[in-house]
Amino acid sequence: MTAVTTTVPAGPPAVPADAAPAARTRRRSPSSGGNAPYLFIAPFYVLYVLFMIVPVLAAVYLSLTEWVGLGTPTFVGARNYADLLRDTSFRTALGNSAVYVLVSVLIVVPCALLVAQALNARGLRARDLFRVTFFVPMVLSPIVIALVYGLLLDRSYGVVNTVLRALFGIGSVDWLGDPTLAKVAISFVLLWRWVGYLSIFFLAALQAVPRELYEAAALDGAGALRRFTTVTLPAIQPVSAFVVVTSFISAAQLFDEPYLLTRGGPGESTLSVAMFIYRAAFERQQLGYAAAAGVVLFLVVFVVSQVLNRVLAIGRAQ
């Protein structure tokens, strides 16, 4: 009788006890480049520190000094801030900037939403042409805009006064020389320049609203106004919050339009805070005083922006 020999397959090779921790370590570290992600994001933080944090800290320090741009700054403490509280020009600039903010938030933003709603309507012909037309003012140079509106609003030879005189017999209106009309003129330029740009954001949000929501609201008997208030506005609220906050920040730092159109005049009726800072720094060489005004503007914009974000976030939650 022949003996049958059964071969039992051998198990996995034994791993030495001292090699087990190293194997587990290798399994936990899938790649040897564990620091690679930090290297990729490091340029952003380096640039952020160099061009954001360092200038802010330098401005705060400079606001506590008296400096004309040459020599060593002289430390004066909070004297610049105390002088700002007593400066009537600074208070006037704050009031004018508040007017620009209200115009931007309460007039420009709603108009941009209406324009976007019109551009999003079904059956609109030449849609792309209208989009380009509304967006063109944003890509034009502020200097070109100032020159064009300077010609349009000129008291003696302006196109606007010529049309008013021909149609209504109204005499020469000093659009840029009257304190109240100058604010109106700058507000109109803001409206003309920013509506098309902001409508792009609203249009993108409107196109993302599902059509089924409008159809369901129509089946429930909701009219156009009701659909706008109950469907459109809640759906685009995140974008609306973004547009409101960015419009506030841009208007609070307004410089180009009042500087190029009126130079802050007549008097100081159109002087913005950014123009006040420019005058203090580059016309009177009061760099510490200008830095103090810049810090105040930064704090006001930061605090109000946070408040707006909180308020709009509560609205989104509701």
CB–CB of 119/127 below 8 Å?
yes
Residue length, the chain? Answer: 318
For 270-311, write each residue's pLDDT tens digit. Answer: 999 999 999 999 999 999 999 999 999 999 999 999 999 888
Residue with the two structure tokens 């190029």: 260
Q: Which range (30-34, 115-119, 188-192, 297-301) has the least confidence?
A: 30-34
Chain mean pLDDT for the chain: 86
Taking 80 as the threshold, does the pLDDT of residue 8 lie above it? no
For residues 194-221, one letter each, b for 16 or more C-beta atoms within 10 angstroms of the residue's C-beta and e for the rest, the string is bbbbbbbbbbebbeeeeeeebeebeeee
Tens of pLDDT, residues 182-203: 999 999 999 999 999 999 999 9
Domains annotated for the chain, with CATH where assigned, are 52-86+285-318 (no CATH), 95-275 (1.10.3720.10)
In this predicted structure, the answer to whether residue 176 has a pLDDT above a threshold of 50 is yes
- How is residue 58 written in tokens? 């330098």
**DSSP 8-state class, residue 265:** -
Beta-strand (E) ranges in 41-154?
65-66, 74-75
Q: If pLDDT is split at 50, 70 and 90, which confidence band does 225 have?
A: confident
